[in-house]
Amino acid sequence: MNQTRYPELAGKRVWITGSSSGIGAGMAKILAQQGCKLVLHYCRNETGVQQTLQTVAELGAEVEVVWGDFADYASLENVFHQAWSAFDGLDVLINNAGIVTKSTALNDNTGAAFNRTIAINLQAPYRLSTAFAKACIDAKQPGVIINNSSIHGQQTCEWFSAYAASKAGLDAMMKVMAVEWGPKGIRVNSLAPGVVPVERTAKILAEPKMAATWTKTMPLQRFGHVDDMGWATAFLISDSAAWMTGSVLTVDGGLIARGGYPARE
């Protein structure tokens, strides 16, 4: 069923990076329901982005697809130009593309995995956000940037030094950009998802022992869904968030609020 909660989003031109699967695909579906024009992006998963394209097209969305490897800095300008040109401009940039790196610091003592994670998760959003802001200013129009961050930017655990650093950096960068670009009418916020099963994690998180281990730490006692992230994204774009910039919207079922403390009966 097509659910429209934010009619003011109809016709908004939105670029979602990394929209071939997972949270990016969920964002695309919800925004298509709101009447947005969508530019999808993929790097390796062409089959996935075609599935996302089919889903949003069936919902009536106008949609275009661009390809780009965000580890290749030389290509970023061209990818942005393609996305901006798809509908003669953009109203919203969603920096969703990223990689999850799990490695102890000692196992990555040369920093190779760390550097690649920072390149894709932090430097690429920096380059795309600055290009988007400049284009909006030149066009004399407002804009919205949403960074898909993570609860690991706030609290983290073993194996996530590279990933947590990239997400904490993304949140800090977002705040600076919000301050610099607010007077130009450009809002910048982060979305920090908790545990949301996606294609690569759904099977293991569905195992009863694993599911119980995680959900007992969440006051709402369930995993997130990609639609939860899609609706949070729609809110951040909407007029309901018109006075919201420089903020991290944490959507995690209460996991961070629980703070890792054992449950009291």
Query: Could you give the maximum distance between any two Cα atoms of the chain, in Å?
Result: 58
Residues in the chain: 265
Nearest CA to 222 out of 253, 248, 265, 261 is that of 253
Closest to 256 measured CA to CA, from 230, 227, 217: 217
Question: How does DSSP assign 144-158, residue by residue?
Answer: EEEEE--GGGTS--T
- On whether the CB atoms of residues 222 and 253 are closer than 8 A, the answer is yes
Angstrom distance (rounded) from CA 65 to CA 28? 12
Is 163 known to be catalytic? yes
CA atoms in the 13 A half-sphere facing the CB of 245: 20
Q: Which of 6, 42, 126, 163 is catalytic?
A: 163
Q: How far apart are CA 182 and CA 262, in angstroms?
A: 41
Rounded alpha-carbon distances, angstroms, from residue 246 to 180, 190, 249: 10, 8, 10
Q: Is residue 145 within 8 Å of 188, Cβ to Cβ?
A: yes
What letter would DSSP give residue 14?
A: E
Catalytic residues: 163
